[in-house]
């Protein structure tokens, strides 16, 4: 299966289990991999035969900048579900949500959750 990558999308959201996270907010980064057959679009140069990347970005933005949730796991599920619901051409999606500055002690680059979900037929 072919894959389309949308990497390093940056958003500001108010997600987290601590009240400071819900009040102050923080940056999140999202990577999405879309699995689908890109041959029809590649052979015809026709946007209607693929996924509009701007629409995928808008969908991810709506989730990330929308209603706050407690868990990064919830964000990844919401993005995967919305992507498979909105774009019937996609057979599977991998979503990685990265939280670079969670309020936990220690030295690290980030914490992240990555999931892969397939369309159920």
Give the tens place of pLDDT for each residue, 52-103: 999 999 999 999 999 999 999 999 999 999 999 999 999 999 999 999 988 8
Domains in the chain and their CATH numbers?
A: 2-118 (3.30.1130.10)
Name the pLDDT band for 108 (thresholds 50, 70, 90): confident
- Report pLDDT for 104: 85
Q: Which residues contact 81 (CB under 8 A, 6 or more apart)?
A: 117
End-to-end CA distance of the chain: 17
Residues with catalytic annotation?
99
**Mean of pLDDT values over 41-46:** 98
Name the pLDDT band for 34 (thresholds 50, 70, 90): very high
What is this structure's pTM?
A: 0.95
């Amino acid at each position: 299966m072919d894959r389309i990558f949308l990497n390093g999308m940056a958003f500001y959201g108010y997600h987290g289990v601590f009240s400071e996270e819900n009040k102050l907010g923080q940056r999140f980064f999202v990577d999405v991999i879309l699995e689908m057959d890109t041959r029809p679009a590649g052979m015809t140069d026709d946007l209607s035969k693929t996924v509009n990347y701007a629409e995928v970005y808008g969908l991810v933005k709506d989730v990330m900048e929308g209603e706050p949730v407690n868990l990064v796991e919830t964000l990844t599920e919401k993005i995967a579900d919305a992507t498979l619901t909105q774009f019937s051409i996609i057979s599977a999606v991998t979503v990685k949500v990265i939280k670079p500055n969670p309020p936990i002690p220690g030295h690290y680059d980030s914490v992240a959750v990555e999931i892969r979900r397939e369309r159920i037929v």
